[in-house]
Structure 1
Amino acid sequence: MNETAQAVEAAYLGALNAPDRGVEAAVDAGASVIAAAPGGLAAAEALAARVVRACEDRGWLAADLVRMARRELGAAHVRPAEELSGGGGLRLERLDRFGAATCVLELLRLWGRLPRITPLAVPAGDHRGGEHKMLGRIRALLAKAESTAFPEEAEALSAKAQHLMARHSIDEALLAGAAGAGATGDGPGARRVGVDPPYEGAKALLLDAVAAANRCQAVWSSEFGFSTVVGYEADLEAVELLYTSLLVQADKALNRGRSRSKNFRQSFLIAYAGRIRERLAAATGEAAAEAAAEEEAAGPRLLPVLAAREVAVGAAAQRMFPETTTHRLRVRDGEGWEHGTAAADRAALGR
């Protein structure tokens, strides 16, 4: 290790091990060293690659590192986080050398202190053709439903999207069952979905409702701002798409009219999540019954296939998270509860 690399390493370790009350001074001192050293920023980038690899060994993906940078450091650190976690070069044109070194050290301190987390399960097998085209249609329908000013049009668009989601998932399950993959060969995977402040608890509850309706299981990691959703690939795509759409619709309903208190907003979102859970469960049951009736002439294959997948998802979630705890949310505003329930009834998600 040359002299510059040693100086950068020492600056990083100083920032990494500094107590919370001394972080600013340690980062300033380290950034001064990096900015003054010949090739200091290049050495800091090389060090960042090592830190990122160490994070990957502890279960963190590049997208997780970017999410943590946004959550803990702010929007200004997002693009540098994307560049460093993706293995690209830093492009900090608007910062001087000291500002760039400060940004890098703040990111490296954050990432270097991340603990080990449960690695994501990766499903075996490949993806069948046509999947991406179908998901593109679903995304387009939900985007139109979110943007239109006409409730009837939003309902029609989202009804079509929900129908495509449900049938896509069922068709995937039947194809896997017919190929003999069942619940093992092309097994469940997992992905992390960001749950951003404010009102993270209520938003995690909404994500859990969407996951359950799509035969997935969600586990919320409150300290890191994400939930891990376990399920089959087609269902995971549906969960993320629908959760995002429902959040947009909830935000529109919350910000319509006069300003509301924190208790109102929290109660609104809890009630919204509860009512959405009921509506999605009903819609999922209807779609499964419709598909079962259509394929009954060829033999009752659907229910055993879906049951096998449910068992496989539960087993995968149990392996990944053998210990979980229950989180209780309190409703403190009756008016917020009523408005949240009404907004969920109006939300465009299905027939």
Structure 2
Amino acid sequence: MTPNRTYIRSPHGGFGNGAGASHLAGRVPVDGPDVRALAAGLLFEDPYHSVYQLTDLSLTWTNLPGWTVLAPPPSTWPVVRVADPTAAVPGETEADAKVLNRIRGLLAKAEATDFAEEAEIFTAKAQELMTRYAINAALLHTQNGVGNTAVHSRRIHLENPYVKEKVHLLTEIGDSNRVRTVWFSSLAIATVVGTPLDLQQVDMLFTSLLVQATRAMQFADADSRGGSRTTSFRKGFLAGFASRIGQRLRDADSRATAEAADEASIPVDALLPILATKSEAVDAEFDRLFPRTKKARGRAVDANGWYAGQAAADDASLAPGERALRR
């Protein structure tokens, strides 16, 4: 099977850590550094590490591309903190702590239960709360005459195994919540761009669904399906899970949007332009930060794993009270 969804990958980005990293930024010339000279300088300032360690660090650092700046560095912060001009609406840049705690509690219950139907209800309620809270914030933003939409970015570190499949899941969740995702393959880091509320909620939902997907994959192993313990099966499982979850999240978002419009006593057609304006602001910031990106090609995956993952995603129903599709 070949997944029909792709995630965005960027050729740009950079990352450094380890011994002497604080001295590197000012020592790497634009036209290409001398690795040996760089390592010698670091060794002079930091004699507690071996030449081999510092040479390896220097070589790694000099081979990395430029790092996209997502926010002003501390050196440029004002002495007195000023309010964000785009935060005229309470909760526009930071989600209400009570709402976040409710979402976290629902997702924690979904992760803890071994019963699919309970996980369905908890996850569904969390998604519904996320959608309605985001829509209410957008409505308040418009009603208060605020012209600009606050758009932020954050980096998410992903760990092996199955990193690409995890990125697929993150991208599907982000797409369903008007958040753009870019993937730095050489660094195993994803950057997500969206409104602060959406970023917080996507991060939480991704963490929860990743836990649920991993547990469902383990159950698939326990069922002793043919090839279920192979790497190819598990990659196919996670790819199928991500693809199906994305479809269901988008469906849930459409339903919740219609319900929110009904509760606000406005037609859906009047609400859609407000959400479109938010999406346009996110797209503009994404294009500013990452002007050159490309979509990664889909690749063939294990068919048994793909269908098992899709079935597991069906069991993780996202509509309140809805029964699993697969029985």
Question: Which residue does the alignment assign to 1:145?
Answer: 110
Q: Note the C-alpha offset of 1:297.
A: 5.0
- Any stretches of 5+ residues in structure 2 without a counterpart? 1-17, 31-46, 73-83, 321-327
The answer on 1:220 being equivalent to 2:183 is yes
The answer on 1:136 being equivalent to 2:98 is no
Give the partner amino acid of 1:219. Answer: V
Contact 1:215 1:310 in 2 (8 A): yes
Indicate the SS of the match to 2:136: helix
Alignment partner for residue 332 of structure 1, among 279, 301, 311?
Answer: 301
Question: Which residue does the alignment assign to 1:39?
Answer: none
Measure, in 2, the Cα distance between the counterparts of 1:286 and 1:242. 18
Question: Which residue does the alignment assign to 2:70?
Answer: 120
Q: Note the C-alpha offset of 1:301.
A: 4.6
Question: Which residue does the alignment assign to 1:64?
Answer: none
Closer/same/farther in 2, CA of residues 148 and 104 from structure 1, 3 Å limit = farther
The answer on 1:180 being equivalent to 2:145 is yes
Closer/same/farther in 2, CA of residues 232 and 106 from structure 1, 3 Å limit = farther
Question: Which residue does the alignment assign to 2:135?
Answer: 170
Q: Note the C-alpha offset of 1:260.
A: 1.3
Indicate the SS of the match to 1:255: helix
Alignment partner for residue 154 of structure 2, among 161, 181, 191?
Answer: 191
> 1:136-192 CA deviation, whole Å, 9 max, x = no partner?
21112101110112222222221221111111111111111112224x2x4211111
Alignment partner for residue 196 of structure 2, among 233, 238, 262?
Answer: 233
Measure, in 1, the Cα distance between the counterparts of 2:209 and 2:185. 20
Measure, in 1, the Cα distance between the counterparts of 2:60 and 2:166. 25
Q: Note the C-alpha offset of 1:265.
A: 1.0
The number of aligned residues is 263
Question: Which residue does the alignment assign to 1:315?
Answer: 284
Closer/same/farther in 2, CA of residues 329 and 294 from structure 1, 3 Å limit = same
1:86-101 to structure 2, matched below 5 A, reads 101=49
Question: Which residue does the alignment assign to 2:44?
Answer: none
Give the partner amino acid of 2:300. Answer: V
Closer/same/farther in 2, CA of residues 332 and 307 from structure 1, 3 Å limit = closer
1:1-351 to structure 2, matched below 5 A, reads 49-51=22-24, 101=49, 109=58, 112-113=61-62, 114-120=64-70, 125-126=86-87, 128=90, 131-182=96-147, 184=148, 186-256=149-219, 257=222, 258=224, 260-297=229-266, 301-347=270-316, 349-351=318-320
Measure, in 1, the Cα distance between the counterparts of 2:69 and 2:159. 21
Percent same amino acid at aligned positions? 42
Give the partner amino acid of 1:216. Answer: V
Give the partner amino acid of 1:176. Answer: H
Q: Note the C-alpha offset of 1:348.
A: 5.0
Contact 1:331 1:337 in 2 (8 A): no
Question: Which residue does the alignment assign to 2:324?
Answer: none
* Structure whose residues are more often helix by fraction: 1
Give the RMSD, CA atoms, in angstroms: 3.1
Indicate the SS of the match to 1:192: strand
Measure, in 1, the Cα distance between the counterparts of 2:161 and 2:195. 29
Contact 2:261 2:268 in 1 (8 A): no
Give the partner amino acid of 1:119. Answer: V
Question: Which residue does the alignment assign to 1:91?
Answer: none
Measure, in 1, the Cα distance between the counterparts of 2:217 and 2:319. 21
Closer/same/farther in 2, CA of residues 280 and 124 from structure 1, 3 Å limit = farther
- Any stretches of 5+ residues in structure 1 without a counterpart? 1-43, 59-97
> 1:9-48 CA deviation, whole Å, 9 max, x = no partner?
xxxxxxxxxxxxxxxxxxxxxxxxxxxxxxxxxxx98x55
Greater relative contact order, per chain length (Cα 8 Å cut-off, separation 6+): 2
Closer/same/farther in 2, CA of residues 125 and 109 from structure 1, 3 Å limit = farther
Indicate the SS of the match to 1:219: strand
Name the TM-score, length of structure 1 as normaliser.
0.66
Q: Note the C-alpha offset of 1:50.
A: 4.1
Contact 2:257 2:268 in 1 (8 A): no
Give the partner amino acid of 1:272. Answer: F
Q: Note the C-alpha offset of 1:105.
A: 5.4
Contact 1:193 1:227 in 2 (8 A): yes
Contact 1:158 1:349 in 2 (8 A): yes
Indicate the SS of the match to 1:323: coil
Question: Which residue does the alignment assign to 2:35?
Answer: none
Q: Note the C-alpha offset of 1:344.
A: 0.8
Name the TM-score, length of structure 2 as normaliser.
0.71
Q: Note the C-alpha offset of 1:295.
A: 1.7
Give the partner amino acid of 1:116. Answer: G
Closer/same/farther in 2, CA of residues 48 and 154 from structure 1, 3 Å limit = same
Task: Pick the structure with greater CA Rg.
Answer: 1
